[in-house]
């Protein structure tokens, strides 16, 4: 995954819509009922491969055991949302902790920010 989770989500959805398998992630119950078991398994396999191909290895190891592409994508999305929020909280704490004082060089202080 290069860039943000939001960018990856759009890229993945665009690709999977192009190959007509996004419905397996968006609505797996509807997709399963409107296709044969073999066709749904193929759609799910393509979607799982696309998801795993685009995520970092450490994340792929955490989501790879999920039963289907929908569960895999949901878990990865939840992980990314929590991670981005935690990064935001950490950055905010550092911003508030890094106070400027007259004893410090302004350029050094700005570089730390």
User: Hunting for tokens 């968006």 — which residue is that?
Assistant: 26
Whole-number pLDDT of residue 101: 80
pLDDT for residue 111 is more than 80? no
For 14-39, write each residue's pLDDT tens digit. 999 999 999 999 999 999 999 999 99
Q: Measure the N-to-C terminal CA separation of the chain; round to a whole number of Å.
A: 27
Question: Model-level pTM?
Answer: 0.70
CB 66 within 8 A of CB 57: no
Whole-number pLDDT of residue 112: 73
For 71-103, write each residue's pLDDT tens digit. 999 999 988 887 666 766 777 777 777 887 888
Q: In whole angstroms, what is the distance from residue 97 CA to residue 104 CA?
A: 14
3-state secondary structure the chain: CCCCHHHHHHHHHHHHHHCCCCHHHHCHHHHHHHCCHHHHHHHHHHHHHHHHHHCCHHHHHHHCCCCCHHHHHHHHHHHHHHHHHHHHHHHHHHHHHCCCCCCCCHHHHHHHC
- Mean predicted confidence (pLDDT) in 40-53: 96
Whole-number pLDDT of residue 1: 60
Whole-number pLDDT of residue 24: 93
């Amino acid at each position: 995954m290069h860039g943000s989770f939001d960018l990856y989500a759009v890229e993945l959805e665009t690709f999977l819509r192009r190959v007509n398998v996004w419905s397996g992630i968006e609505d797996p119950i509807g997709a399963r009922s409107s296709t044969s078991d073999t066709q749904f398994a193929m759609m799910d396999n393509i979607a799982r491969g696309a998801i795993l191909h685009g995520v970092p290895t450490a994340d792929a190891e955490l989501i790879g055991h999920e039963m289907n592409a929908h569960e895999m994508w949901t878990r990865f999305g939840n992980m990314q949302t929590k991670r981005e929020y935690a990064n935001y909280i950490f950055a905010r704490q550092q911003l508030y902790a890094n106070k400027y004082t007259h004893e410090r060089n302004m350029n050094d202080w700005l570089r730390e920010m």
